[in-house]
Structure 1
Amino acid sequence: MNQPSPAYRVTVFGAGYIGLVAGACFAELGHSVTVRDIQPERIAALHAGSVPIYEPGLAALIARNTARLHFTLDAEEAVRDAEVVFVCVDTPPMASGDADLSRVWAVIEALTEATHLTAVVMKSTVPVGTGTRVRKALDASGLAHVHYASNPEFTAEGRAVEDFLRPDRIVIGADDDTVAKLLVDLHHGVDAPAEIMDVASAEMVKLTANALLATKISFTNEIAALCEATGADITKVTRATGMDHRLGPHFMQAGLGYGGSCFPKDSRALRALASNAGHTFPLLSAVIDVNDLQPRRSVKRLAHELGGLAGRTVALLGMTFKPGTDDMREAPSTVIASRLLAEGAHVRCWDPVAPDLHHEPWASTDRCADLHGALADADAALIATEWPHLREADWRHCATLMRAPVLFDGRNLLDPDHMRDLGYTYLSVGRPPVRRQAP
């Protein structure tokens, strides 16, 4: 019979989508966890029992583990009794495409007096070679005895708790057996194989996985464009293609392209890493170019259908980059809203959880509290996020609210024939358009 793993004192730097989920899940596994962040409003919300990000299941997980979860703004307090520090801070892209590691280095600098630590573990997505640099920095700070490891995250927003507790694998980059065993012990209770490798390989796994998923998305959207030109139906093409066990159906849904905090940033970071190493990586450059074009294509097609967008009212349905999250980073809707406004359209927006935004392009749009308000007297609507609310909406009634119902389904959420029968001119990605019958 397996013996229970010991509980560790864990500190997580970063209370965002990665750090807060990791902290709550490590507490669920029985460890004592302190989460440190530099945003006072975020820590204040957590102290008040409110979760500052929208992530299904996270609030319940935090509430269940309040005795083992602590939150602070003070770095010294955070590491005072810690055995293991997890670095879970943002690594946003710089103008060059390289990852900005300033927040990572701020954490490492905050550890210089923490000689009692056992290990520092990198969960932030960083360029290959970062581990070597961190190791040198720890050594130079008198922390040569502190182990270092890479433990990249593979949690998708909207299902991050599930992905952490029931992952496909746990990737551990460790250059000695002691810290590798420590990471295995920390994940005791998670039923998944531990893939143990050197630090550089673990750093590359994360970038590779995201780039490959992004490639599938962009490739599918390229085939969708070809389907539009030839009269083929992308949903039929990808369904049959995905039945091949060598390929699988995942990430082969045509749409507006990928967004969020990972795929855009990590694909650019990998391209920058390749360029810095003297490799141009043309395939990845094409993936990025296709994705950048995809939301613009939707606006162009809608403009063609309406005979221009100037003076038209368009309802933008969904703002977040995908359902199940309130994250607006790199959301295709931002490009779509910008292009609609640039073409002279009046834009109304609806989303069930997106935050109130007061910067452009959102400051120039009207935010509606409900779907019907967004659609009232609209010339057209564009689905940018596949929220289940839209799949379940009463589209027959919605048609009566619009002037002459034109719907661009950027996520292929609805059935074309059904929408035509309800009186819509219905456009989607990679499928033949259907137009309402003349009365």
Structure 2
Amino acid sequence: MKIAIVGTGYVGLVTGTCFSEMGVDVTCVDVQESKIDNLKKGIIPIYEPGLDDLVHRNYKAGRLKFTTDLKECLNEVDVVFSAVGTPPDEDGSADLKYVLEVARTIGQNMNKYILVVTKSTVPVGTAQKVKNVIREELNKRNVNLDFDVASNPEFLKEGNAVDDFMKPDRVVVGIESEKAKSLMERLYKPFMLNNYRLIFTDIPSAEMIKYAANSMLATRISFMNDIANLCELVGADVNMVRKGIGADSRIGSKFLYPGCGYGGSCFPKDVKALIKTAEKNGYTMRVLKAVEEVNETQKGILFEKLVKLFNGDLNGKQIALWGLAFKPETDDMREAPALILIDKLIKAGAKVKAYDPIAMCECQRRIGNKIEYATDMYDAVLDADALLLVTEWKEFRLPSWGVLKKTMKQPVVIDGRNIYDRNELQEQGFHYTCIGK
């Protein structure tokens, strides 16, 4: 079976590579020549554990190809996945120009039946727009060709994307015809051998499922952060509260960890887009508006705790940051809480020295040399007035507190992810602050 994946970003490259690992003949397409050239040389544009080896192996085996020209492979493939970006527009809605451009190219150049599958996260109604654009281009050519559209939203977690794709908890596919269903069943069959998790729906429902899933997870995070902030005021311990409510089978324990806000490429963008979709249809998503508001406030909570600790004066203070990426196991800094924190610290006159195992090059690309970049986690805390844990990388979990105590100017730790033991740090002579205690 031959397929094309348009877009070699996070979703497209993981999708194409994992399909090729199962024996599918995959051509990955991207308009950026430099990216395609690098991929052919084995240079991967994103950091994702396990992806490098899969790309190299399948490219060498000839199952994974890279090109800048979608037209050249349309006569060979049965399915085209559109995995191009859908960045937020100025009003918060998803910008569909790249998705529709792919549809336009297909309509202008297809010569046989093709199933066009939207993999990007797109608002309800996008598949119909794709269908209309393809049909419009075919009509301009006076060509009457059969084709189908489908929606196949991705549910990949950055840092665990390869496993998520190879062993999915569910695969959602929105279809309109039995032919499209048959093709998608055949394509996903290798991933379903142990447990059939393929869910077929109508297309609008599939498009909505992705937004609803991410918005629910974002809601749980903001809810728990709201509860954590109240716990501090009333003297409760949010970790105990989290365990108590998570033990309820109706609630469960996932995504109930308080912290300094969510970021990344999905949650912020998808919550905004769903709010905007509702507005365009005359409805107000009141819960999601609150979710977004809580999260934006939470991104500043570490700064507020630091300001309070130093009586409002951070001018000239040396602040160490552990973690820059929005979550561990990725270099993604889109909507990362660290960016908000750094901006506030610099404006307050503080000096910032940061360390992240993977994301420092990405941070430097975004903000340049506004901060100092440490060579390791212990270099970051040298002469620091305070250490702020922003991203819970594994190597930060068991630091040598004795070394920190000797090298820091002031033994102050603000834990933005609640991974340390208050009693242990206080016994070592640290002033320790976390979220929700």
Q: Shared fold (TM-score greater than 0.5)? A: yes
Cα deviation for residue 275 of structure 1 reads: 0.6
Counterpart selection for 2:47 from 47, 54, 68: 54
In structure 2, what is the Cα distance between the partners aligned to 1:342 and 1:417?
33
Cα deviation for residue 64 of structure 1 reads: 2.5
Give the conservation status (yes or no) of the 8 Å contact 1:337–1:361: no
Give per-residue Cα distances to partners, 1:155-188, cap 9 Å, x unaligned. 1100001111111111010011110121111111
For residue 89 of structure 1, what is the amino acid of its counterpart? V
Find the counterpart in structure 2 of residue 285 from structure 1.
Answer: 289
Moved more, 45-54 or 248-257: 45-54
- Is 2:363 aligned against 1:346? no
- Is 2:134 aligned against 1:130? no
In structure 1, what is the Cα distance between the partners aligned to 2:349 and 2:96?
39
Taking structure 1 as the reference length, the TM-score comes to: 0.94
Find the counterpart in structure 2 of residue 101 from structure 1.
Answer: 96
In structure 2, what is the Cα distance between the partners aligned to 1:206 and 1:356?
27
Cα deviation for residue 140 of structure 1 reads: 1.6
In structure 2, what is the Cα distance between the partners aligned to 1:154 and 1:356?
24
Find the counterpart in structure 1 of residue 382 from structure 2.
Answer: 376
In structure 2, what is the Cα distance between the partners aligned to 1:321 and 1:358?
15
For residue 231 of structure 1, what is the amino acid of its counterpart? G
In structure 1, what is the Cα distance between the partners aligned to 2:26 and 2:278?
37
Structure 1 segment 163-202 matched on structure 2, within 5 A: 163-191=164-192, 192-202=196-206
SS in 1 for 2:332: coil
Find the counterpart in structure 2 of residue 145 from structure 1.
Answer: 146
Give per-residue Cα distances to partners, 1:39-59, cap 9 Å, x unaligned. 233222211112221101111
Cα–Cα, structure 1 residues 408 and 362, in superposed 2: closer, same or farther, change >3 Å? farther
- Is 2:41 aligned against 1:41? no
For residue 373 of structure 1, what is the amino acid of its counterpart? D
Cα deviation for residue 346 of structure 1 reads: 0.6
In structure 1, what is the Cα distance between the partners aligned to 2:151 and 2:365?
36
Give the conservation status (yes or no) of the 8 Å contact 1:23–1:33: yes
In structure 1, what is the Cα distance between the partners aligned to 2:145 and 2:321?
54
Cα deviation for residue 116 of structure 1 reads: 2.5
Find the counterpart in structure 2 of residue 75 from structure 1.
Answer: 70
In structure 1, what is the Cα distance between the partners aligned to 2:130 and 2:41?
35
Give the conservation status (yes or no) of the 8 Å contact 2:314–2:349: yes
* Number of positions where the alignment pairs a residue of Structure 1 with one of Structure 2: 424
In structure 2, what is the Cα distance between the partners aligned to 1:116 and 1:346?
61
Give the conservation status (yes or no) of the 8 Å contact 2:333–2:362: no
The runs of 4+ residues in structure 1 deviating greater than 4 Å are 358-362
In structure 2, what is the Cα distance between the partners aligned to 1:422 and 1:116?
71
Gaps in structure 1 of 5+ consecutive residues? 1-7, 432-439
Give the conservation status (yes or no) of the 8 Å contact 2:260–2:299: yes
Give the conservation status (yes or no) of the 8 Å contact 1:72–1:78: no
In structure 1, what is the Cα distance between the partners aligned to 2:40 and 2:365?
28
- Is 2:211 aligned against 1:216? no
Counterpart selection for 2:245 from 241, 248, 272: 241
Cα deviation for residue 97 of structure 1 reads: 0.7
Counterpart selection for 1:27 from 11, 20, 43: 20
In structure 1, what is the Cα distance between the partners aligned to 2:174 and 2:137?
22
Cα deviation for residue 75 of structure 1 reads: 2.5
Cα–Cα, structure 1 residues 356 and 199, in superposed 2: closer, same or farther, change >3 Å? closer
Give the conservation status (yes or no) of the 8 Å contact 1:11–1:82: yes
Find the counterpart in structure 1 of residue 158 from structure 2.
Answer: 157
Give the conservation status (yes or no) of the 8 Å contact 2:36–2:66: yes
Give per-residue Cα distances to partners, 1:380-436, cap 9 Å, x unaligned. 1111110001003222212211011111110111111112122211111112xxxxx
Find the counterpart in structure 2 of residue 253 from structure 1.
Answer: 257
- Is 2:352 aligned against 1:321? no
Give the conservation status (yes or no) of the 8 Å contact 1:223–1:234: yes
Find the counterpart in structure 1 of residue 339 from structure 2.
Answer: 334
In structure 1, what is the Cα distance between the partners aligned to 2:340 and 2:133?
40
Cα deviation for residue 35 of structure 1 reads: 0.6
**Identity value in percent:** 42
In structure 1, what is the Cα distance between the partners aligned to 2:15 and 2:71?
20
Moved more, 61-70 or 220-229: 61-70
Give the conservation status (yes or no) of the 8 Å contact 1:321–1:333: yes
For residue 74 of structure 1, what is the amino acid of its counterpart? D
Moved more, 297-306 or 140-149: 140-149
For residue 163 of structure 2, what is the amino acid of its counterpart? E
SS in 1 for 2:300: helix
Gaps in structure 2 of 5+ consecutive residues? 139-143
Find the counterpart in structure 2 of residue 412 from structure 1.
Answer: 418
SS in 1 for 2:424: helix
For residue 165 of structure 1, what is the amino acid of its counterpart? M
SS in 2 for 1:316: strand
In structure 1, what is the Cα distance between the partners aligned to 2:281 and 2:404?
54
In structure 2, what is the Cα distance between the partners aligned to 1:26 and 1:91?
22
